[in-house]
Amino acid sequence: MTLRQQLVADRVTNLVTSIGIPEDQAFERFIHSLVTGQSVHSLDPADWVDGAQDKQIDLISIEEDDADAEVFIISAKFTDGFSSNAIILMRNGLQWVFNRPRAEVATISNEAFRDKILEVRSVLSGIGPSNIRVRCYFATNGLTSGLSDEYQQEVRAIKAEYDNGTFAEFSFETLGADELVALINRMEKRNRSIDADVAIRYDANTPSLIRYQTQGLKGIICTATAREIANLVIADSSGALFDSNIRRFLGKGKSVNADILKTATDAASSYLFWFLNNGVTIVCDGCDPVTDPDNPKVKIKNLQIVNGCQTATALAHAERDGVLRPDTRVLLKIFETTDTTLSSRIVLTTNNQNRISTRDLKANDAVQVDMQRGFERYSLLYEHKVNQYATATLSPGQRIISNEDVGQAFLAIALKKPGDARRRKYKVWTDNYSQIFSGSGVEPHVICLLIYQAANAWARTARRAAGITELRRKLINNALLHIARITSFLWRGSDSFAQSVAELQVQIATLQATPNALNPHLDEALNRLDALITANPDFANDVDGALKSALLETAITRSLHPSAAAAAVPAAPASAPTNVP
């Protein structure tokens, strides 16, 4: 076993211990976290399709926005090799996901896999394949340096079949121990410092360098060759340049990046690059322009590219391919500051060229740090940066929870929007952020989270109940946030969290000591949700659509507050008097 294989094995063992799950599941969670950027502690159980007839696919996650979506399809096996037979089976699994008729899909005995296939098809139908990025991964703890010819042949066949312009982007990556450790290093911010001398354009007779200073802050605007920026990226094999950028390169196929490449490599347009591109924004600890006419440059200490990951990485691709035009120039904005709050604001306000993870952009907000401290009172380690506790040793009774789970649970239960919480998670970090993370006490958030976690534990048994109907099984798998929202009302007797801190703490203590106490309420919540959907033909005919609908959320609220719903209905007008001659 190589050192990197041992490092991966150690991470898996740590998850087995901290979460209390089997080794294979721990590896699957580990891979899911690395490729999606989500916490290992916030995996949606409905994304797990591992089991009989899984066609070699273990996890399918869908990140859906209003206008586009990203689909992650993962096969993760905790072995030390790459089986040619396994990749053949996964290729067959992709056929089932995208190509097999619905009548054949209905014959799959693996209910979770069947549901996910239909969910993927629903997204494809709803927003169109040209707005969907599909990312496939086959991962083991083996070494990719020893891939067989047959394995590589199957991968080429998969790419030829699906990477053909149908989707906005289709990728298939093989991940072994070397690649996994590289992803770990890229995801987890370390104390890595990159210093560089960046050659710039300087002419003493033409204003080509702008310096600005105010209240101890310093900024420089200047111009560098595209090759200079590309070589910075190429030299940084660890990805440390983008530690503060908080987003991956979206691929050469993304429309913005395709335009970057076209402009930078075309003789007819490369000279226009400076005018057409937003440039690259750098935050650093120190910047010192050297205006030597024979060797002009900016000496930069601990530089981070906080905006321009797409530009810089696309230029690096062009340079590696030998097609980057020498007359391509890039606008640089360099900000010198050691103020982490200001750095976070620069990251937030300058990252607007491509859609990025707003959860990550909020990671350093003061309210997130406050939440972390508040949750510690209840032995809960509040993870506001992805996998920040990956190597932590837990004290007895401590548990790691993700701020994304906290936000989803609060949005679903306290704000009564389970549809958004389930399928529009981005709203936790955008539309509803200030309502969810208001800076008030954490006790309502803890209660919502514990109820949602109790629902997840209950679901593991409930979905296996004898004689369960197809609708109820689907609701258990895909509507847990709706069920949790109803359960909260049934158990607490109210939608309000305006009680005193002492009263809320009593509820927290009860949930932490006896989470199974919610099971009767969860059973009743499922009954009520089943009845609401069955009674409405529109809901019953399109359950997936109903679970995303605000109409169902309104129906749930009305069913829980029947007197208020009745009072809201205007009284029937009195009959007009009859004129008797």
The ranges of the chain annotated as CATH 3.40.91 are 3-187
How far, in whole angstroms, is CA 226 from its chain's centroid? 31
Q: Which amino acid is at 181?
A: V
Highest mean pLDDT among 317-331, 344-358, 566-580: 317-331
Q: Residue 254 has which token pair?
A: 């993304």
Tokens read off for 394 = 């837990």
Average pLDDT over residues 562-567: 65
- Please tell me which of 185-189, 293-297, 446-450 the model is most confident about, judged by mean pLDDT: 446-450
Residues 6+ apart with CB under 8 A from 233: 241, 312, 313, 315, 316
Q: How confident is the model at residue 343 (pLDDT cuts 50, 70, 90)?
A: low
pLDDT band at 337 (very low <50, low <70, confident <90, very high): confident
* pLDDT at site 41: 85
Whole-angstrom Cα distance, residue 241 to residue 303? 7
Distances (CA, A) of 493 to 126, 408, 414, 442, 452: 38, 21, 13, 20, 17
Q: Which helix (H) or strand (E) holds 350?
A: helix 340-350
Radius of gyration of the chain (CA): 27
Q: Round the average pLDDT of the chain to a whole number and report it.
A: 87
- Compute the distance between CA of residue 140 and CA of residue 144 in angstroms, rounded to an integer: 9
Strand segments, DSSP code E, in 293-452 are: 297-301, 304-307, 329-336, 380-383, 399-402
pLDDT tens digits along 89-132: 999 999 999 999 999 999 998 988 999 999 999 889 888 999 99
Can you tell me the mean pLDDT for 27-54?
87
pLDDT in tens, 384-442: 877 778 777 888 889 999 999 999 999 999 999 999 998 888 889 888 999 999 988 89
Please give the Cα distance from 510 to 268 (Å, whole number).
70
pTM of the model: 0.65
- At residue 467, the 3 state secondary structure works out as coil
What count of residues does the chain have? 581
Q: What angle do CA 321, 323, 329 make, to 5 degrees?
A: 120
- List, for residues 498-511, the tens digit of each pLDDT value: 999 999 999 999 99
User: What is the rounded CA–CA span in Å between residue 495 and residue 559?
Assistant: 13
**539-559 confidence digits (pLDDT tens):** 999 898 899 889 999 999 999
Distance from chain centroid for Cα 13: 24
Q: Which residues are bridge partners to 290 per DSSP?
A: 297
What b/e readout covers 392-408, taking b as 16+ CB neighbours within 10 angstroms? eeeeeeeebbbbbbbbb
pLDDT band at 372 (very low <50, low <70, confident <90, very high): very high
Cβ atoms within 10 Å, residue 212: 10
Nearest to 325 by CA among 254, 200, 208, 225: 225
State phi, psi for 222 to the nearest 5 degrees.
Answer: -155, -175
DSSP state letter for 394: P
In angstroms, the first-to-last Cα distance of the chain is: 105
pLDDT (average), residues 146-169: 93
Confidence of residue 479 (pLDDT cuts 50, 70, 90): very high
Class of 3-187 per CATH? alpha beta
Q: 251: pLDDT confidence band, cut at 50, 70 and 90?
A: low
pLDDT score for 391:
75
Q: How far apart are CA 160 and CA 71, in angstroms?
A: 18
> Whole-angstrom Cα distance, residue 208 to residue 199?
13
Q: Report how far Cα 261 is from the mean position of its chain's Cα atoms.
A: 27
Alpha carbon 113 to its chain's center:
21
> Tokens representing 379?
């032995």
pLDDT of res. 331: 95
Task: For 275-304, write each residue's pLDDT tens digit.
Answer: 999 899 998 888 999 988 889 999 998 888
Q: What pLDDT is attached to residue 505?
A: 96
Nearest to 356 by CA among 279, 252, 437, 246: 246
DSSP class per residue in 533-567: HHH-HHHHH-HHHHHT-HHHHHHHHHHH-HHHHHH
Q: Which tokens is 74 given?
A: 């993962």
